[in-house]
Chains A and B, each alone.
Chain A
Amino acid sequence: MLEYIISKYNYWMYIVLILIGFYAMMAKNNLMKKLIGMGIFQWAIIFYFMSIGAKKGATTHIISGHGATQHIVRAVDFVNPLPSVLMLTAIVVGVATTGISLAILIAIYRRYGTLEEDEIIKKENSK
C-alpha cells in the first residue's frame, strides 16, 4: 500500500493541493483567501500536467544532423514538450484570472471598505 502511494507521489501531491485550493475557495470567508485558494487550485493542475510530461535522464526535443548523419530517434531519450507548451498557455490563463479577480477585489474594497464576505452581505442588505 505504502509503495503504491509512494510510486505515484506526484499524483497524490496534486490531489492534496487541489483539495486545499477547493477548501479555501468554498469555506473561507475572506475574499482574498478565496482568491488564493483559486490560485492553488489552478497551480495544482499545472503541476499535474508538468509531472505527466517529466522524464528522468531525457533531453530536450532537438534533433541534430540531417540526411545520412541523422540517427534513429528514440522516444525514450526525449521529453515530450507538449504538456509544458500547453501549460504555458494555462499559466497565461491563470495570470489573467488572478488579474481580473484582483481588479474586482480592489473595486469591492473601495465600495464596501472590507473583504469579509459576511460584512459585505450585511452592508448590501442594510441598504
Chain B
Amino acid sequence: MISEQFPALIVVTPLILSFFIPVVGWWNRKLCLPIVLIALSVCLVSAFGILDTVIKHGTVHYRLGNWEPPWGIEYVIDHLNAYVAIIVSCIALLVAIYSKKSVEQELPEHKIPQFYTLFLLNITGLLGITVTGDVFNLYVLLEIASFSAYGLVAIGEEGALVASFRYVIMGTIGACLYLLGVGYLYIVTGSLNMADLAQLLPHLYHSKVVLVAFAFFMVGIAIKMALFPLHVWLPDAYTHAPSAVSAAIAATMTKVGAYVMIRIMFTVFKPYFSIETIPATTILGWVAVAAMIFGSILAIAQSDLKRMFCYILLAEVGYIVMGISLANRMGLTGAILHILNDAFMMACLFLVAGAIMYKMGTRDIRNFRYLHRKMPFTMAAFTIAALSVIGIPPTCGFFSKWYLILGAIYGGQWMFAVVLVLSSLLSAVVFFRVIEKVYFEPTVDIHNGESHEMVEVVRDEAPLSMLLPIFITVAGIMLLGIFSGKIISTVIQFAIPAGF
C-alpha cells in the first residue's frame, strides 16, 4: 500500500525531483515550475494521508531499511508532526504557484532553475525536520533547510549578499550549538533516538551534562527561530530576499523552529524537567515578553513594508514561545494553533508585499497613496490579514490569542496577559498606519493647505497567478478562524505533548 510509504515519500519526492530541476532547466526553463508543483502536491497529499492515518490508528512509526530503533533511524509521526507537515507543504505549494510571475520579474532568467532547486531543497529540509524521530537526523535536515535558505536569500536584491553572509554566521552558530547538545546527550546516554532518549534521560536529570545539553539545545533553536535577543540576522535576510522566498521562509522556518522547541522540551526532555528541575519556562516566558514588545515597537519605526513585517514576525515568534513557556493545556493549545494561524498570516502579508513590489517597484509605505484604487483586491487581502494579526474576530488570529490569554490567566501569569494585549494594540498602530496611508489619504494637504484634485488612478491589479495564492491564504485566515474549534478537537488536543 502506498499510504504506508507516505512518511518516506514526503521527504524523498522533493529531494529527488530537486536534483532533476537543474538538468531539465538547462533543456527547457518552462518545465521547472511544473516539477516543483508536482513534488509539492505529492508532499501535500502525503501529509494529509499521514494525518488521516494518525487520527485513525495513532502514531506512525516508519523504520528506514527495517532497522529497529534505537540502532536504525526512525520516522515518528504523531498529531503534532503531521499538523506541521501539512502547514509547511500547503504554504510551499501556494508560494510555488505565486512565484511564477514574481521570480520572472525579480531574477535574471538563467537563475530560475537554481532558484527552484534551492526552494525545493529548503522544503525537503523543513518536511524532514517535521517527520524525523532522531536528534542527529534532525540536525542534518536543519542544515539542509538552512543552506538552501542562505542561497535563496543571497540571490535577492541589493544588500542581500551581506545579509546572507550574516545569516550564514548566525545560522552556523545555532546549528553547531544544537550539535553540541546532541553530543552531550550522546555521551551520557549513548543514544540518538528521541523516544529512547526520553526513556533514558529521567535517571540522569541531576547530571550537569544534561543541563548543559538542554541549554545548548535551547540557545541553538532560539537562534534558528529568531527569538528576540538572537534575532539580528532575520530582518535583513528576509527583507532583501526575493518576494517569494520571504513569503515561504517567513511562514515556515520559524514555525518549524517552534515545533523543534516543543519536541525537545516536552518529548526528549520530560515536562517536569523543563518546568521544575530548571526554570527554563520562566526564562523563556520573559524572553518572549521582550520579543513581543520590542518586535511591535520596532515595527512601528520601519518605513519599508517588508522590513515592518519582519519585526511583526519577531513579535509573533514571541507569542508562540510565550504559549510554550506557559506549559499548561490552554497555553500550548494557543501556541500550536498560533503556529498554523501565523503561517497563513505571514504568508499572506509577505505575498501582498511581493505583489505591491511587482506592480509599484517600491515597498516604501510613504508611496502608498491611492493604492486601494490601484490594487483593490490586494489591499483588501492585506486589510484582512492585518486584522488577523491584530486579533479581531472572526479572523484566526483572535482565536489563538484568546487561548494564549486564557493560558496566561490559568497559569497565574497576569503580566503575560497584559503584555499580550499591549502588543496587539501596538500591532494595531503598526497596521493602521499603513491602512490610513492607503485608504484615508486626506484631500487637503495639512502642511501646505493646498487641496488635492481627485487623482485619476487606473486599476492595475497583480496578475491572477499572484492573486490566487493571496486569496487562498485570506480564505484560510477566515476559515481557520471559523473552524478553529474543529481543528482543536480533531488535531491539536492530541498534539499537545504527553504530561499536560
Q: Which of A93-111 contact B (CB under 8 A)?
A: 93, 96-97, 100-101, 103-105, 107-108, 111
Chain A residues with Cβ below 8 Å from B33 are none
Given contacts A52-B187, A96-B143, contact A101 B165 (CB under 8 A): yes
Is B168 a contact of A104 with CB atoms below 8 Å?
yes
Cα of A111 to Cα of B154 in the assembled complex, Å: 13
Task: Render A29-50 as a binary contact track against B, CB cut-off 8 A, 1 for contact.
Answer: 0010010001001100100110
Task: Render B172-200 as a binary contact track against A, CB cut-off 8 A, 1 for contact.
Answer: 11011001100100110000000000000
B156-164, B288-296, B432-440: which one contacts chain A? B156-164
Chain A residues with Cβ below 8 Å from B165 are 31, 34, 101, 104-105, 108
Is A96 a contact of B176 with CB atoms below 8 Å?
no
Cα of A111 to Cα of B161 in the assembled complex, Å: 9
Interface size on A, residues (CB 8 A): 30
- Closest Cβ of chain B to A101, distance in Å, is 5
CB within 8 A of A107: which of B136, B147, B161, B179? B161
What band does the interface of chain B fall in when counting residues whose beta carbon is under 8 Å from A? 20 to 34
Indicate if B169 sits at the interface (CB-CB under 8 A): yes
Chain A residues with Cβ below 8 Å from B179 are 45, 90
- Closest Cβ of chain B to A117, distance in Å, is 8
Is A124 a contact of B147 with CB atoms below 8 Å?
no
Chain B residues with Cβ below 8 Å from A124 are 159, 162
Identity of the chain B residue whose Cβ is nearest the Cβ of A105 in the assembled complex: B165
Identity of the chain A residue whose Cβ is nearest the Cβ of B165 in the assembled complex: A104
Is B150 a contact of A104 with CB atoms below 8 Å?
yes
Is B168 a contact of A100 with CB atoms below 8 Å?
yes
Is A38 a contact of B164 with CB atoms below 8 Å?
no
Indicate if A120 sits at the interface (CB-CB under 8 A): yes
Cα of A100 to Cα of B186 in the assembled complex, Å: 29
- Closest Cβ of chain B to A93, distance in Å, is 5
Given contacts A41-B173, A42-B176, A108-B161, contact A97 B154 (CB under 8 A): no
Chain A residues with Cβ below 8 Å from B150 are 100, 104
Cα of A2 to Cα of B164 in the assembled complex, Å: 44
Given contacts A100-B168, A104-B150, contact A45 B183 (CB under 8 A): yes
Indicate if B140 sits at the interface (CB-CB under 8 A): yes
CB within 8 A of A86: which of B136, B172, B176? B136
Cα of A69 to Cα of B147 in the assembled complex, Å: 50
Cα of A103 to Cα of B164 in the assembled complex, Å: 11
Is A49 a contact of B183 with CB atoms below 8 Å?
yes
Q: Which of B10-36 contact A (CB under 8 A)?
A: none
Is A93 a contact of B140 with CB atoms below 8 Å?
yes
Given contacts A48-B183, A52-B187, A104-B165, contact A41 B143 (CB under 8 A): no
Chain B residues with Cβ below 8 Å from A38 are 168-169, 172
CB within 8 A of A42: which of B136, B158, B172? B172
Cα of A88 to Cα of B161 in the assembled complex, Å: 29
Is B162 a contact of A108 with CB atoms below 8 Å?
yes
Q: Which of A76-100 contact B (CB under 8 A)?
A: 82-83, 86, 89-90, 93, 96-97, 100
Cα of A49 to Cα of B161 in the assembled complex, Å: 33
Cα of A34 to Cα of B162 in the assembled complex, Å: 13
Chain B residues with Cβ below 8 Å from A25 are 169, 173
Cα of A42 to Cα of B176 in the assembled complex, Å: 7
- Closest Cβ of chain B to A51, distance in Å, is 10
Indicate if B323 sits at the interface (CB-CB under 8 A): no
Is B172 a contact of A41 with CB atoms below 8 Å?
yes
- Closest Cβ of chain B to A92, distance in Å, is 9
Indicate if B151 sits at the interface (CB-CB under 8 A): yes
Chain A residues with Cβ below 8 Å from B169 are 25, 34, 38
* B residues whose Cβ falls under 8 Å from a Cβ of A: 136, 140, 143, 147, 150-151, 154, 158-159, 161-162, 164-165, 168-169, 172-173, 175-176, 179-180, 183, 186-187
Q: List 16 A-B contacts (CB under 8 A).
A: A25-B169, A41-B172, A89-B136, A89-B140, A93-B175, A97-B143, A97-B147, A100-B150, A100-B168, A101-B165, A103-B154, A104-B150, A104-B161, A105-B165, A108-B162, A124-B159
Question: Given contacts A34-B165, A41-B176, A45-B183, could you give 18 more A-B pairs where the C-beta distance is less than 8 Å?
Answer: A25-B173, A31-B165, A38-B172, A41-B172, A48-B180, A52-B183, A52-B186, A82-B186, A89-B136, A93-B140, A93-B143, A97-B143, A97-B147, A97-B168, A101-B165, A105-B165, A111-B161, A120-B162
* A residues whose Cβ falls under 8 Å from a Cβ of B: 22, 25, 31, 34, 38, 41-42, 45, 48-49, 52, 82-83, 86, 89-90, 93, 96-97, 100-101, 103-105, 107-108, 111, 120, 124, 127
| In the A-B complex, the 6 residue pairs with the closest CB atoms | A108-B161, A93-B143, A104-B165, A101-B168, A107-B161, A104-B154
